[in-house]
Structure 1
Amino acid sequence: MEYVGIVLISHSEKVAEGLKEIIQQVILNVPVEVAGGTDDGEIGTSIEKINRAIDRAYSSKGVLLFYDLGSAKMNAELAIELSEKENIKLVDVPLLEGSYVAAVESSTGKDLKTIIENVNKGF
C-alpha cells in the first residue's frame, strides 16, 4: 500500500530529525523525510534539500510539506514550483502537531485532500 509522504522543513537539522524520530515512534509505514538546515550544516533552509526530501517521500498519493518559519515556507513554495511531480501540497499549520496528525492520517490510507482537511480542522 502507498501512503501520502511527509516532508519536515526546519531551519534546524536537529529539529527536523527530532520531529521525524517522534513521528516514527508511532508511525512506521509512512515515508517521513527531513530538510533541515542549509547545505553546509548551518541554520536556514535549502531548496535542494527540500527537493531531495520530496523525491524520497513521494508516492503516487502525493506528499505534504510542513515548515517552521516564513523563509522555510518561501523555499518550500519554490521547491514545489521547480518540481515536476504532482500532488505536492504545503500545509500551513504548526510543524510538530500538524505533521504528526498528518502522519497518523496517512498511515490509515487516507488521500491527500482528506488529510489536509483533517489536519486543518485542528488548527
Structure 2
Amino acid sequence: MKGETKAMESMGDVLGILETTRPDPHDGACRLVGLDVVVADGYLAPNNWMALGDQFELRHDGTGWTVNGGHLAAHRVHRLTFDGRYDVSILTSHRYVELDTSATYKFLPVPCPEPTWLLVQATS
C-alpha cells in the first residue's frame, strides 16, 4: 500500500477520466471525444489512435498541443485540434479541462476491460 501511495504522489494531479469514443470493433482503438489528431507534415493520423494500455504525453510547443506515445509515429509532430483549431480543452467525465500551456499532461491508462485513461497534470 505504501508503494502505491508513493506512485500516486509522483504521478501528478489527476484532473479526471478522459471521455473517449467507444472502441472500434475492428481494432479496439478509440479517440478523444470532440478532438482530432492532425500531423504537422501533412500525413494523416489514424482516426482511432488510442489503444488499450497506451500512455500519452501532451505538451504545448508554442503553436498547439502536441501528443506523443502509443502507436503514434515518434518522428512526426501530432497535434490535437478542435474543429481545425489548435486551441483545445479536454472533456473528462465531469467537465471540460482548460489546459495550462506551461504544464505537461499525461494520459495514463487505467486497468479496465474498456480502454480508459486518466488526464494527469504531470509534476515538474
TM-score above 0.5, yes or no: no
TM-score, normalised to structure 2, is 0.28
TM-score, normalised to structure 1, is 0.28
| Greater share of strand | 2
Bigger Cα Rg: 2
